[in-house]
Chain A
């Protein structure tokens, strides 16, 4: 018997957000159980639910899956968002690893010491503009398709849209030099499942504020 996937994490983006995006894009309804205190995390650890004592953890298909990439790969494969063959998977993997690196930089920004924030934000913008976005712009330009790989929606597209929106939060207009990414963003945002996820009231999480940052620090002891 398979119920809805159940996500265990704090009530914020962090490493779980890409998983929420992928499930939503695949049209999969999911439940969430939020870790609010250190005790909540300890309880999960003590009852053996977390293989390596860490979240994200997703209860799915009888498994208590951990490790973000493992969870994302499973969902992508299960819902046919991982390409049609080994070669397409190779490209999806390469593209996803790129957006993972970019989003990782953005995700850790609030946790950096205050005196390095400005420098780190500048680095994020520089990397987005000079290292990452040009690659995806060129991929779209070279084949002229709507999607990054295999002329079909895949995990790579969903992940790229998430990264674009996060980057725009860092610097509105960051896509100004990337016309194809702008069109990609519009087009992909209009896919019904994704459009729904982008609406207020969905399970998409907002940017971290001071209060949620303090909570996260307390829960994870950082």
Chain B
């Protein structure tokens, strides 16, 4: 519109337009509003373009911020003098009455739980359903770009019972979406329990699930199930084969000793082979079956393996590992550079044992490399709270991944009050340790590192004998700690022999001073150490008479609550010539996972502090040895929380729309808003 009275001052614009401009007057505010609206819309879309348009998982964005917010490279740690230095058993002083771990009068009062403490216990990045009871991992698999995880679940309460199959999916093994229950107890053959099973992915892309059902007569049988629709990437619906059960207890096997079928592997005859744990009297065994169609089976005359005195073998697992130790192998792989691992969960002592050995396909048998390291007497996956574990081959990244059930070690009353019980371990990669040749190495999957945010580094901190050093890292309930320790050379060389072979379990814990230990970290520790959970090394004489290294978790002072488990867990860890002592600890509220020497020995503990929670939880270095200083170098990251929640309808759009379409939509919206904004701005006369 032309300016009809250009010489008039601006202030009287409204007057000058009074006649011809009254319609314009009325329109102007509208134009202003439109301009503001489209301006804001354009700004919003611009912001959304920047932030949201880079793929699905937000964890990817949080990813590579390692060390960017690190405080100065070697931060001076705060040294805290001990209140009293324990003189130790060497001087005849009982650890129970002296030293920094002496009981302060009044500390023995039982602490009733309150909701603040219970809410804190829930983990931030470990897999768990929203509520109720969970136990064994079931049928893990990777298929069509999704990791699937199933689990034993009680939909009704926070104790074991009414067991069905829960189901969750993830793109990255860290962030999970909960889906509807995969299988419930709706058939006579699994009415009393839809129990543990495993998945096999066939070469043609079909998925076969074999699982144990407890029938209405409480007989344990094996059943076949498969996805209703393989083109559903989430595999929500499952169908049970109408001819179930496909296997019943064979003659000579008791009807309640026949459960947990494994993933199948191919034989050279092109048949599929599975193994199922059982027992005869007190000898644990694993039965072997061949099948072509997963419906008809022939039982092999022998067993895969047996070990007298070990009792029932639950959740048997059988898989190959590469002796070069570089990547995981599909379950069917065999060959000269391959060893086979057999694992069993021993019902009698509630621990998971594995052994490495040779598989003989001809008769479906397996022999351990070291008979004295056989199942039940040799190595455990985890020396803490860890059971019913199961591996699967992740063909997405060529790794073998281990899941383990981590139960609660508090009272069931508290479980029922907090409304949930049990978590899963962080998924761990499994590799053969070709340096020791005796161990498997377990390590949290690399996607765990994507949860790391700001870190703090401590370089060569010297911790004198009998001292504690506070590590100021900020909040200490969600941490990833990577630490290395060195001892004094002379102290190692002149160490006196201790007469009794050391064992974490029967020791006095972190309070029992030795020449060369204990030393390590105190996590979930209160400022005055009234509650603390030591994760530490102890170098002492082992049962073979030589100086050995042990890794322990001491829960005796982990909580002032009287109704939680307070054992000392741990075991020997092989340390080779020239290796520094290394320890990685994941702290995630009420669960701690400790990995020593790159995962040769692992301890998972459940911890339930009443004081050392939220801002009051701290981390300390400690050295309670008498004869050596230690030098520690650490990097400690804050860990973000994972997104573990029910799947929602709008997740469909986020996950299924191709990235390219999003790349087109947003810019178009943005450009349109900008143009409209500019249009209206240009039309406003000021």
The finding on whether chains A and B are genuine partners in a shared complex, rather than unrelated, reads: no
Interfacial residues, chain B to chain A (CB-CB below 8 A): none
Interfacial residues, chain A to chain B (CB-CB below 8 A): none
